[in-house]
Amino acid sequence: MSTFQAPKGTYDLLPPASAVYLAVRDAISAPLRTSGYGYVETPGFEDVELFARGVGESTDIVTKEMYTLTTKGGSELALRPEGTASVLRAALEANLHKAGNLPVKLWYSGSYYRYERPQKGRYRHFSQVGAEAIGTEDPALDAELIILADQAYRSLGLRDFRILLNSLGDKECRPVYREALQGFLRGLDLDEETRRRIDINPLRVLDDKRAEVRKQLVDAPLLRDYLCDACRAYHEEVRALLAAAGVGYEDDDRLVRGLDYYTRTTFEFVHDGLGAQSAVGGGGRYDGLSEMIGGPALPSVGWALGVDRTVLALEAEGITLALPAPVTVYAVALGEEARRLLFGVVTALRKAGIAADFSYGERGLKGHMKNANRSGARFTIVAGERDLAEGVAQLKDMESGEQSPVALDALVTEIGSRLG
């Protein structure tokens, strides 16, 4: 055992569990790749101000949860706590919005970092797949992204999740609601830190998960009652498009999520089998974020889905993904000449696109066959001195147990034929 361990609140992703995580990432990104979204990758750290401006200085993410560092040159950087601000920054820096083909549709996958109290489903290092549609204000884009996430989850076999939907209004109608909400909140019995939020961003109080706060919010004014005609019409169109696509959702007047940049559409995917950490992903429209970080007006919408949380949701529903075995053919060589010949066969199999592994190390037939069984390979090739003298190797079907001699120079063709 090593002297060192993974930092508190983090984890190592190792085989065979890592194969499930890869399958989840592939499933989430698959609908995006067939819907015009191109892959983008950004640095794991950014200027602190990018998140302070974009995510919001009043959010827990910025005030409590960011990992920050000072470079030797004196720059203040932060490990990225979320993906949207970084992706938008990258798109602006590369002038993707000036190419004339809006919206700019991007997807990404990576690790993110927040200093939180570790618990099941909430880690200090976590993995997400995200998508952003930048530069166009259109309710069809909001609906598209929700539908694509729904499609991804259903492709994994998930059924026990719900989509929560709300509208946060815009710069025209939200100030009126903000004033009404502030008046209501000032009459509640709240701690000093929560009271500070009333002046900075009162919607953050609606996102408070503490029971003693939530029970006081039962009679809080509802944002839907303050939406302007434009925001109301926009939201109704999103709802209509989801209904037309057969995607079910629940209206949630309290849904605000934890980031300051959201406007109008906001949504969350929740799975009740996960307990307190029920959110598996979410997102919304962020029409003013580009201006917040120094760019032009670029109305946009996006989401991020948690890979870790999605894996937990699969476990909660008892779903086991059908994963391909990492190895299809395992070669067992008995003797030096067989090692040289079968190593060449393994190399040829790999070149032919067939996953193959080799019996490395000095051990007897019994030990090599144990490794072959553990590999999960469909076929095992075994060759010793007697086989080589006859110009063959023994090809064993690990499912049926049948074994037959095959000419050495025909192994790749024969295995390819059997695999179809």
Q: Does 132 show up as a binding residue in the annotation?
A: yes
Q: Assign 361 a pLDDT band (cuts: 50, 70, 90).
A: confident
pLDDT over 90 percentage in the chain:
67
Q: Which two tokens stand for residue 373?
A: 């069984």
Domains 17-173+227-316 and 329-419 share a fold: no
Q: Which CATH class is domain 17-173+227-316?
A: alpha beta
| pLDDT value for 258 | 61
Task: Quote the Cα angle for 65-70-74, to 5°.
Answer: 145
267 close to 150: Cβ distance less than 8 angstroms: no
3-class SS string, 75-123: CEEEECCCCHHHHHHHHHHCCHHHCCCCCEEEEEEEEEECCCCCECCEC
Residue range 55-83: mean pLDDT, rounded: 84
pLDDT, tens digit, 9 for 90 and up, residues 7-38: 999 999 998 899 999 999 999 999 999 999 99
Specify the higher pLDDT residue, 17 or 106: 106
Q: Is 262 assigned to a binding site?
A: yes
Where in the chain are the domains? 17-173+227-316, 329-419
Q: Which of 22, 36, 232 is nearest to 131 (CA)?
A: 36
Q: Is 418 annotated as a binding residue?
A: no
**Mean per-residue pLDDT of the chain:** 91
User: What is each CA distance from 188 to 6, 197, 203, 205, in whole angstroms?
Assistant: 42, 13, 15, 11
Alpha helices in 215-362 (DSSP H): 229-244, 289-292, 307-316, 336-351
Is 128 annotated among the ligand-binding residues?
yes
Residue in 123, 145, 122 with CA at minimum distance from that of residue 8: 123
Range 329-419 classified under CATH 3.40.50.800: yes
* 101 backbone dihedrals φ, ψ, rounded to 5°: -115, 85
Tell me the two tokens of residue 168.
């946060």
With beta carbons less than 8 A apart as the criterion, state whether 173 and 184 touch: no
C-beta atoms surrounding 134 within 10 Å: 26
| pTM recorded for the entire structure | 0.89
Task: Establish whether 114 is an annotated binding residue.
Answer: yes
Q: Is 261 annotated as a binding residue?
A: yes
